[in-house]
Amino acid sequence: MMRCDKPLVDVLELCSSAGDLLRQVGFVVREVSRQSEATYYSLPGFPQTLRVAAHPKGSDGWAPPVVGSLTFIADRKTPGQMRISQDQLRDQVARAIGRYLLTVSNAP
């Protein structure tokens, strides 16, 4: 059997780590869902947001203009956790930032 060298990480911790990386590059918290851990980040001066959550997009009762998302879904075999390396987390955040910047740069 092949050994997996990626650590098991709590999905809420992943959301927090992703938020830390976003804040390091200038994103600010725009809104936090009242129904879940979903947090919406944006660059100052832009209405578009990036959604960071541990569940697929649902109805948070608030409809920001979401142009990208980071969703960390737990593995069925390890509830509340997923296997991911720090490099993979950073790559996912970098891709989300890139999508965000490409979208807001084309906004009217």
Does residue 51 contact residue 38 with C-beta atoms inside 8 Å? yes
pLDDT, one tens digit per residue, over 66-82 is: 888 999 998 888 889 99
What is the per-residue pLDDT for 60?
Answer: 56
- The answer, yes or no, to whether residue 2 has pLDDT greater than 60, is no
Q: How many CA atoms lie within 13 A of 31 on its CB side?
A: 16
Mean pLDDT of the chain: 88
Tokens of 91: 């790559």
| Cβ neighbours for 61, distance < 8 A, ≥ 6 positions apart | 33, 34, 35
Q: Residue 46's CB: how many other CB atoms inside 10 A?
A: 17
- Most distant CA atoms of the chain, gap in Å: 53
Angle between helices 11-24 and 86-105 (to 10 degrees): 50
Does residue 73 contact residue 5 with C-beta atoms inside 8 Å? no
1 pLDDT band, cuts 50/70/90, is very low
